[in-house]
Structure 1
């Protein structure tokens, strides 16, 4: 099962090949700054655990034992984008969004 780190805010997937929370966080921060990367973000404070997003995209998200939504992927690849869009649309409380990092021109 994937691990997540953080408090009750936005859960962030940390790959299992990491060597601990600190290294994982550093690796994750470096991934966040990569250009043209789409990520599925959950607002855990808004999520009410209906599970409609999990039904729409079971390969991308799941509810854990406490009915909290966990994002199972770090980056949305182009093949997974339609599933991510479906998960966002399925959420009745708008707790999911897709974050796109695009490079800024100088």
Structure 2
């Protein structure tokens, strides 16, 4: 009896999902400048008196440019981008 193997489409989808952009914060590094929120308001939110909130830590592909732009403008490099 043959062993079931995943088809190529399933493997490709899994590879794409595993390459999804993810965002996180360096604990305590955010100084509240808010430039990330200005650059990418659908990704970052800076509440009063607090560190930035990442609204979508697992970034949809259509928002990757915006998420990257927000991370790049942070003057203290508080936002980590990974795949």
Unaligned runs of 5+ in 2: 1-16
Structure with the largest fraction of helix? 2
Structure with the largest fraction of strand? 1
Q: TM-score, normalised by structure 1?
A: 0.58
1:81 partner SS? helix
* Larger RCO: 1 or 2 (CA < 8 Å, sep 6+): 2
What is the CA RMSD across the aligned residues, in angstroms? 1.4
Partner Cα distance (1:80, 1:94) in 2: 19
2:62 paired with 1:74? no
Once the two structures are TM-superposed, the CA of residue 67 in structure 1 deviates from its matched residue by 3.0
Partner Cα distance (2:33, 2:70) in 1: 12
Aligned length: 67
Q: TM-score, normalised by structure 2?
A: 0.72
The structure that has the greater radius of gyration is: 2
Cross-structure match for 2:12: none
Runs of 4+ off more than 2 Å: none
Partner Cα distance (2:27, 2:34) in 1: 13
Unaligned runs of 5+ in 1: 1-33, 101-106
Check conservation: 2:24, 2:57, Cα contact below 8 A: no
2:63 paired with 1:87? no
Cross-structure match for 1:65: 48
